Structure 1
Amino acid sequence: MISIAMPADNAPSFSDYQATRHFGSLNGLRFLCIAAVLWHHGPVWTSLENAPRIATRGFVGVDFFFVLSGFLITTLLMREASERGRFSLRGFYWRRFLRIIPVYFLVVTAVATYYIGVKGETQYLSQLPFYYLFLANFLTTDIPLLSPMWSLAVEEQYYLVWPLLLMILPPGWLIPVLGFLVLLNVVAVIGWLTPLGIAAFEAGPLRFAMFNTTYAPILLGSVVAILLHRPASFAVLARFLSSAPACLLSFGTILALLQWLPADLQGWPNLALHIAMAIALITIVIREDNALRPVLALRPIARVGEISYGVYLYHLIGLHIANVGLGAAGLATQNWVVLLIYTGISIVIADISFRTFERFFLNMKTKGWGRVRP
């Protein structure tokens, strides 16, 4: 049996938080996110009669990935600026390039070659350039197996703009600007900007519109990072969110919202869910001995979380392989078998990719532009 460690009664100190270089629970959180995505794209929940609403919402794993990404990127940039006087834009973009681009381009190129080159489905040629330009979130149709790439486009657009704003905006403006952008995202999704003449428009295979998740969760992750980076706001958050009950209650609240929020999450319901995710994230990074650490730090869970980016990129390929193989064996209708097999295939492919192809590029992070100099 796994025991849940109860944090000490005293609130965590700001200095301890600032000294933390590796947040031990985050790979476990990544595991939860990718597990939700794998469940969502698997065949089980769609076959359930009267499935509970929470079972239909595995897609929110992407939203939590966004919150986590906004937090980590902003935290790293602000800490570098605090320690060295400023952060290096060139170094930031180089490190993001090495982590994101090589394996992403590999998957896009391999899938496009298969469908366009091998199968001769040339109707996808018009969409292909926009995957390389990270505009997939505006495509009206997708190349098969590449539909999840919209979220990578959102992240890359965030990476392009947010560090620049962080560098040029006065510190006192950061939270107000982020708050304004989050609210702008919400009202755009609801359609409140349409009366002002701001509406979606199309250009070729692209449709430029603010859709459901978009940028709000990643911006809220940045808000969390800024609040925890400031001693005064850290002290307030530590007082209310560092206890074991707060940690467990925050994650329980997410589950409750997933079950009880209305069927249409667009707009304010989604914002409520994203805020709950931001609060839950605070409870597991504000102190290392949080209540969920014994579970989130389990080695198999942490390992899958560590390679979750690859699992996300490869999982529809894994699903395709599983469907073809199990179909040939007459097991394609065994939904739980499909879910388990495709999950295993996705993890194995991602692990091999991480140890070989991705590791080659990750080892370059501390060289050249990626090296942080005093």
Structure 2
Amino acid sequence: MHRLPGLDLLRSIAIVWVMLFHSFLVGGLGPDFAWLSRFGWAGVDIFFVLSGFLIGSQLLRTLQRGEPLSLRDFYWRRAWRILPAFAVMLTVYVAFPVLREAPGLAPWWQFATFTLNLLVDYGHNQAFSHAWSLCVEEHFYLLFPLLAWWVTRRPSTARFLGLCAALVLLGIALRSGVWLHNDAAQPPRNWYIEDIYYPTWMRLDGLLMGVVLAALCVYRPALWARLQARSTWLLLGGVAAAGLALFLFRNRTGLVANAVGWPLLSFGFGLLVLSATAPRGWLGRWAVPGAGWLAAASYSLYLSHKLVMHAVQEWLAPALPLQGLGLFAVYVVAIALVGAALHYAVERPCLQLRDRLRSRARGGSVGPSPQGRRAAG
């Protein structure tokens, strides 16, 4: 898939929004800007929708052409995309406790096996806890190719829509049941994070919405084109749906928000993603300066930003005669520098090595362009 400026813009918004949310670790931007960062956790859900769409499009397009699905090749590409930078950051967190943004760190094997989001004791182990979303993504990478192969063996729109509806309803039922049980029992732990917010089976709505978009794009191209022609209405509808969901999430841990807020939020973000794919739409018409770089480096920025915030807070900020926005600018520069270092020293070289090894294995065939690598991962 070629580079789409609109998707770059959404990805850059997502990473900045997440980092603003986590800025509470250093006091944030102050009370006047609390509204900007309060719902920053939703940036992860934009990532989920984008991942579902991009990975789903890649795999479904292969299956739609009748080509054999190479699980080995898919997992090979995903491993080189995810593991090197993740391994570097995990090593830093394990080897240098002084750098951690919180004292407690879950056992290294929970990170290495991507089971952190299922086993974490959040009350005691909050360092590098944002890796929970990588666990959800890895579970998706592991299972979706098999599910896509099974569903497309005998393509059926009714069966596909029925499966999607069942997953949405199952998520609503699971979250509601777990919420009601824990609200009544009140276990002495952060059960909202551990039992509802983190587990993969509770957070499938965004990925599912992305896959639905991918299926629409691959199997119903005429309808896809007609929808793209209405990108402005999609943008407005996406903002309205996401806004309604965030209104429900005023009480982030409430029953109504966690029962129906997640699919509604994912639907809104899905409309925004669809609008962003339209070349002449408001989101996709222009390449916003800096958005392409933020999108390309978003993974490295996501992995490292908490650690950088803590380092600046402990060692640099006390020595600077700055407050408010001026001090926050220092955090921004430091995060960008460390994220760029991880991106250019680890992430990109490993992707280039991956493509060289793949090219040699295929007898020297030319691999995808850099733009294609960034789009499809």
Residues 315, 343 of structure 1: 8 Å contact kept:
no
Please provide the CA RMSD for this pair.
Answer: 3.3
1:91 maps to which residue? 73
Tell me: CA distance 1:45–1:69, structure 2 relative to 1, closer, same or farther (3 Å): same
TM-score normalised according to structure 1 size: 0.79
Residue 33 of structure 1 deviates from its aligned partner by: 0.2
Amino acid of the residue matched to residue 269 of structure 1?
G
Residue 51 of structure 1 deviates from its aligned partner by: 4.7
The farther-off stretch of 25-34 and 40-49 is: 40-49
- Unaligned runs of 5+ residues in structure 1 are 1-19, 202-206
Tell me: CA distance 1:65–1:338, structure 2 relative to 1, closer, same or farther (3 Å): farther
- The whole-number CA distance in structure 1 between the counterparts of 2:362 and 2:320 is 55
- The whole-number CA distance in structure 2 between the counterparts of 1:338 and 1:223 is 43
- Match of 2:282, SS state, is coil
Residues 242, 268 of structure 2: 8 Å contact kept:
no
Residue 243 of structure 1 deviates from its aligned partner by: 2.7
Tell me: CA distance 1:283–1:143, structure 2 relative to 1, closer, same or farther (3 Å): same
Amino acid of the residue matched to residue 243 of structure 1?
R
Residue 263 of structure 1 deviates from its aligned partner by: 1.8
Whether 1:37 and 2:29 are equivalent positions in the alignment is no
1:272 maps to which residue? 264
Whether 1:191 and 2:197 are equivalent positions in the alignment is no
Q: Which of 2, 15, 27 is residue 8 of structure 2 equivalent to?
A: 27
Tell me: CA distance 1:367–1:174, structure 2 relative to 1, closer, same or farther (3 Å): farther
Tell me: CA distance 1:106–1:220, structure 2 relative to 1, closer, same or farther (3 Å): same
Number of aligned residue pairs: give it. 339
2:165 maps to which residue? 179
Q: Which of 253, 261, 272 is residue 248 of structure 2 equivalent to?
A: 261
- The whole-number CA distance in structure 1 between the counterparts of 2:345 and 2:66 is 33
1:62 maps to which residue? 44
Residue 251 of structure 1 deviates from its aligned partner by: 4.7
Residues 33, 64 of structure 1: 8 Å contact kept:
yes
- The whole-number CA distance in structure 2 between the counterparts of 1:175 and 1:369 is 36
- The whole-number CA distance in structure 2 between the counterparts of 1:131 and 1:37 is 20
Residues 72, 225 of structure 1: 8 Å contact kept:
yes
- Unaligned runs of 5+ residues in structure 2 are 188-192, 252-256, 366-377
Residues 90, 369 of structure 1: 8 Å contact kept:
no
1:288 maps to which residue? 279
Amino acid of the residue matched to residue 289 of structure 1?
R
Amino acid of the residue matched to residue 267 of structure 1?
A
1:5 maps to which residue? none
- The whole-number CA distance in structure 2 between the counterparts of 1:179 and 1:137 is 25
- The whole-number CA distance in structure 2 between the counterparts of 1:351 and 1:123 is 27
Tell me: CA distance 1:292–1:278, structure 2 relative to 1, closer, same or farther (3 Å): same
Greater helix proportion: 2
Q: Which of 314, 320, 325 is residue 336 of structure 1 equivalent to?
A: 325
Residue 345 of structure 1 deviates from its aligned partner by: 1.5
2:116 maps to which residue? 136
Amino acid of the residue matched to residue 259 of structure 2?
G
Residues 239, 268 of structure 2: 8 Å contact kept:
no
TM-score normalised according to structure 2 size: 0.79
- The whole-number CA distance in structure 1 between the counterparts of 2:240 and 2:9 is 18
Query: Percent of aligned pairs with the same residue?
Result: 25
2:190 maps to which residue? none
- Match of 2:267, SS state, is helix
